[in-house]
Structures are given as C-alpha cells and as structure tokens.
C-alpha cells in the first residue's frame, strides 16, 4: 500500500482550515480514480484536469485503484485550488517526488490541461495559515507576491507543473517571490474641490475622525454623492496590520490584481439593485460581499430608500466609515 500526504486549506470565511490530502494507490479495479471527503463538483472534476496535466508533462497514472481522501471528511471542500495538491500527492505516491518533502508544504493552485498552474483566490490567508503550521507554501507564480506578505515561510511560486517538479528535483531553481505594494495611480477626490457646503464638510470630518455612520438627506444635485466620494481622502492611510487584514478579504474575493497590496482604504458603492448575497456575501461558493469588502473603509449606499427594506435594516446607513 502506498499513501502520500500533502496539505492544503478549506476556507470558512477568511479562516483557512487545514486539509490533509491523502493519496492512496492500491490494488483493485484498474483505472478507477475516486475523490472522497465531502468534495463539491469543482473538486470532483479535478481528477480530469490532473490526469491531463500529468499527461502533458509525459507521465501517465498507474493502472491501479487511485483514491484521494480530503480529511477531515466532514469539512466541505469547494473550489479548483485542490488540483495542485492532488497532483503533488499522486506524484509523491508514484515515487516521482519525495513524499517526506511534499508533506512539509501547503499547496494550492488550479491546473490547466497543458500543466500550467493558474491563479486562485485566497492565497494570502493560506500563506498565513501555512506559516502558523510551520510549513512552506506552493502556489501559482501569479499569486507569489501576494503570498510573500505572510512572511516567515518558504514560498515556491511555480508557473507550471513541470517547473515545480524540476525545482523539487533540484534541476531548476524558481525565484523567491517578492511582496509588492500596489501603485495607486488614481488620485483620491479631495474635499478642497467642494465649494461651500461647510456644514456638510464639517459633518464628514466628524464622521471620519470618530468612525461614525452618516446619513445624508437632500434633494437631487445637492452634492451628496460628491461629498461621499471624498470621505476616504479624510481617512488616514492603512497601517501594515490593517492593510493585511483587508487584503485577506480581497484575496478571497479575487480582488488582488498581481498580488499587490494597497495602503488605500476601500470605497464601495454598490447599486441599489444589488442582491442580498452580493451585499452581505454568500452564494453557492461563499464569497465576501460589499459589506466585507468595505471593511476599514467606506460603504456608500446611494439612494438608500431604493434598497430592499431588509437590506436597509441590515446596513443601517447610507455611508459607513470604519
């Protein structure tokens, strides 16, 4: 009996829960490939992507009974980031990679049919969880700068499965990713552009200083939206802890382009026709909503009476400054 272990994560909110990917190659009906452990359809389809990716690098799965167990079995598993750990577990069980070394990593990444490793959401929380477990992280090259913000752990950011195998065998060296800070080219709307409206500007300053909710009422064209857009400019830049906290939420939502973290506070302005899941999060594959994405920033609900009554009661105010 051959069993290999590699680790990955399952997300519950922004918490990354450890998942032990156990790969067993045993005797029995040849060609059978099962994935067990409360996996959703995207995870179940991993076996076809993994099979094609291994074939793309010149390897064929053994004609034996293959079983992949995602433990703990009572924890729901969602998403395509299980492709890479399943492939690595198979490579370790087949003797292509050293099983003892693979077990020291948390891996996540989606495999394309030509064995490229494509970007996935949630790499930053996974990197922080891997660091806490005193393990390294294997992730897509596109997500390397994002993972580097976790600090204190070994990160292997591979563009393809063959590059990763060569790196593990010592025939190729992958560069260590470097944390990147986003270069915000857009200028922040400034309150000095607003002429008059002294009372409203004073209210904005008080809300920004105290982190208060603010409800603005006035006729169309009075400048409510213009003033709200300038509220983030009154807030101080994010410190390192806050930037990391916000980036973990953005990472889960897939809103960290290039893996670069911004020091600018978020400003979210959802349309009044937005659905409940888009505002508070949820869906078949749970993702953060506008409320979570506005964390430590500003949530502006324009035309508040147009929002569904339940949504209005949930959010309480037209602008929320944290």
| pLDDT tens, per residue, the chain with 322 residues | 579 999 999 998 788 999 999 999 988 777 899 999 999 998 999 999 999 999 999 999 999 999 999 999 999 999 999 999 999 999 999 999 999 999 999 999 999 999 999 999 999 999 999 999 999 999 999 999 999 999 889 999 999 999 999 999 999 999 999 988 877 666 778 888 888 889 999 999 999 999 899 999 989 888 899 999 999 989 988 888 898 899 999 998 988 877 888 888 999 999 888 888 888 887 666 789 999 999 999 999 998 888 765 454 554 444 444 3
pLDDT of residue 320: 45
Two structure tokens written together for 214: 């603010």
pLDDT of residue 259: 81
CA nearest neighbour of 240 among 177, 150, 155? 150
Domain boundaries for CATH 3.30.230.10 within the chain: 2-169
Q: The CATH number of 191-321 is which of 1.10.357.10, 3.40.228.10, 3.30.365.10, 3.40.50.300?
A: 3.40.50.300
Contact in structure between 87 and 80 (CB atoms under 8 Å):
no
> How many whole angstroms separate alpha carbon 57 and alpha carbon 158?
14
Query: Residues for the chain: how many in total?
Result: 322
Residues contacting 179, CB < 8 A, separation 6+: 145, 148, 149, 151, 261
Domain boundaries for CATH 3.40.50.300 within the chain: 191-321
pLDDT of residue 313: 52
CA nearest neighbour of 274 among 296, 300, 247, 248? 300
- For 320, the enclosing helix (H) or strand (E) is strand 319-321
* Residue reference for tokens 């950011």: 157
CA nearest neighbour of 54 among 102, 86, 99? 86
* CATH number, domain 2-169: 3.30.230.10
Task: State the pTM of this model.
Answer: 0.83
pLDDT of residue 175: 94
Q: Are strands 2-12 and 15-26 parallel, antiparallel or unpaired?
A: antiparallel
Two structure tokens written together for 291: 């409320």
Q: Residue 39 phi/psi, 5° resolution?
A: -95, 145
Cβ count near 310 (within 10 Å)? 9
Contact in structure between 181 and 263 (CB atoms under 8 Å):
yes
pLDDT of residue 308: 66
Residues contacting 213, CB < 8 A, separation 6+: 207, 316, 317, 319, 320, 321
**Per-residue CA distances from 250 to 14, 94, 121, 123 (Å):** 10, 37, 9, 10
């Amino acid at each position: 009996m051959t069993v290999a272990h590699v680790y990955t994560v399952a997300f519950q909110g922004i918490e990354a829960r450890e998942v032990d990917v156990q790969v067993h190659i045993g005797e029995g009906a040849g060609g059978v490939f099962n994935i067990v452990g409360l996996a959703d359809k995207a995870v179940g389809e991993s076996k076809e992507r993994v099979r094609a990716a291994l074939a793309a690098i010149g390897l064929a799965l053994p004609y034996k009974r293959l079983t992949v167990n995602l433990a703990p079995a009572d924890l729901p598993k969602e998403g395509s980031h299980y492709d890479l750990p399943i492939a690595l577990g198979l490579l370790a069980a087949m003797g292509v990679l050293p099983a003892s070394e693979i077990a020291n990593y948390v891996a996540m990444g989606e495999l394309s049919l030509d064995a490229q490793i494509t970007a996935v959401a949630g790499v930053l929380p996974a990197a922080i969880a891997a660091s806490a477990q005193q393990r390294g992280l294997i992730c897509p090259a596109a997500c390397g700068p994002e993972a580097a913000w976790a600090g204190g752990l070994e990160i292997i950011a591979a563009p393809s499965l063959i590059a990763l195998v060569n790196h593990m065998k010592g025939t190729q060296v992958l560069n260590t990713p470097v944390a990147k800070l986003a270069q915000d080219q857009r200028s922040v709307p400034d309150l000095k552009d607003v002429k008059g409206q002294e009372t409203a500007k004073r209210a904005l300053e008080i809300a920004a200083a105290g982190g208060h909710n603010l409800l603005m009422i006035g006729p169309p064209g009075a400048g409510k939206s213009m003033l709200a857009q300038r509220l983030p400019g009154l807030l101080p830049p994010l410190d390192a802890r806050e930037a990391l906290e916000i980036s973990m939420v953005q990472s889960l939502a897939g809103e960290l382009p290039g893996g670069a973290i911004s020091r600018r506070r978020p400003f979210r302005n959802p349309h009044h026709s937005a659905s409940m899941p888009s505002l508070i999060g949820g869906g078949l594959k749970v993702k953060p909503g506008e409320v979570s994405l506005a964390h430590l920033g500003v949530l502006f609900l324009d035309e508040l009476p147009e929002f569904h009554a339940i949504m209005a009661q949930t959010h309480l105010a037209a602008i929320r400054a944290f």
